[in-house]
Amino acid sequence: MNFEDITKYIIEYIGDDPNRMDLKDTPERFKQYMDFVFSGYNMTNPIENSSLYRSTSDQMICIKKVSFISHCEHHVAPIIGEISLGYIPDLLIASLGSLLRTVQMFTRRLQIQERIVQQITDFIYEKTQSRGVISLIKAHHHCLICNASVLESDTEMCSLYYNGIFLEDENKRNDFLSTVKN
Ligand SMILES: [Zn+2]
């Protein structure tokens, strides 16, 4: 079965007519959507040596509210949210673009939120050899909306994860949290 046949099968399964005129281009658009939201599987290391620069400071660097879309691996339902990152460099800092691509690489897959936050945090820690990385994710889980049988839900799931110096230093954790709060 090719992708077009699969899409037509799904459209028929949900009770619509796959040959309806207005759905003519839907298989191709659905394929483009799938290729985009699951492109993380095909991304290669986003923090290469060319994305790393010599650090001139040992103070925390924060990136706030990076939007992402992922899909939960249990229901293939969208997880839509934002992540804020902080890290304390040792000798190296990473380009902003490489950090954003790291978020894309781990979110554009079938995921669970706890794993997204761990993978991003530990990957940045390893590649930048920094003193510590901390991440906060807030997201809406669309499978929750379905399970609750309501069409709208403001429920956000939050996950905080940190490693390195943040494990020992509560003040640094609080610095991060107060920086990304608003
Ligand atoms: Zn789910």
Closest CA to 87 of 131, 137, 136, 54: 131
What is the whole-number distance in angstroms between the Cα of residue 68 and the centre of ligand 1?
16
What is the whole-number distance in angstroms between the Cα of residue 77 and the centre of ligand 1?
6
Q: Per residue in 129-179, pLDDT tens? A: 999 999 999 999 988 777 765 656 678 899 999 999 999 999 999 999 999
Which residues neighbour 77 within 8 Å (Cβ) at sequence distance 6 or greater? 71, 141, 142, 143, 146
Residue ranges of the chain whose pLDDT lies below 50 = none
List CB-based neighbours of ion ligand 1 within 5 Å: 72, 74-75, 143
Model confidence, pTM? 0.93
What is the whole-number distance in angstroms between the Cα of residue 89 and the centre of ligand 1?
35
User: How much is the CA Rg of the chain, to the nearest whole Å?
Assistant: 19
pLDDT of 96: 96
Closest CA to 87 of 127, 135, 52, 123: 135
What is the whole-number distance in angstroms between the Cα of residue 91 and the centre of ligand 1?
40
What is the whole-number distance in angstroms between the Cα of residue 72 and the centre of ligand 1?
5
pLDDT of 155: 83
Closest CA to 85 of 150, 3, 21, 160: 160
pLDDT of 150: 60
Determine contact, residues 78/107, Cβ cutoff 8 Å: no
